[in-house]
């Protein structure tokens, strides 16, 4: 059975896997930015610094924010 994406777009399994990883990565970046903007525990300067880290170093900035940057009060409000 052939893959419909392979028939329509000429994409193989490796290309589909890379596209899926790319979409998932950007979903995490967008999630981190939305979480940062809704976090009222940070000042505007701190938000700007975290935003620069997320945008200029997307892999490490996003991972650092999601692991270190989310405050305990903000996490308990969202749960």
Intra-chain end-to-end CA distance of the chain, in Å: 43
The domain locations on the chain are: 4-78
pLDDT in tens, 17-26: 899 999 999 9
pLDDT in tens, 5-46: 666 677 777 888 899 999 999 999 999 999 999 888 889 999
Residue 79: both structure tokens together: 């749960």
State the pLDDT at residue 13. Answer: 79
Measured between alpha carbons, how far is 58 from 50 in angstroms, rounded to an integer? 11
pLDDT above 90 (res 1): no
């Amino acid at each position: 059975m052939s893959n419909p994406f392979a028939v329509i777009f000429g994409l193989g399994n490796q290309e589909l896997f890379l596209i899926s990883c790319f979409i998932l990565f950007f979903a995490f970046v967008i999630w981190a930015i939305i979480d940062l903007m809704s976090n009222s525990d940070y000042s505007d300067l701190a938000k700007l610094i975290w935003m620069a880290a997320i945008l200029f170093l997307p892999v490490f900035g996003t991972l650092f924010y999601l692991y270190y940057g989310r405050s305990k009060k903000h996490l308990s409000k969202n749960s």
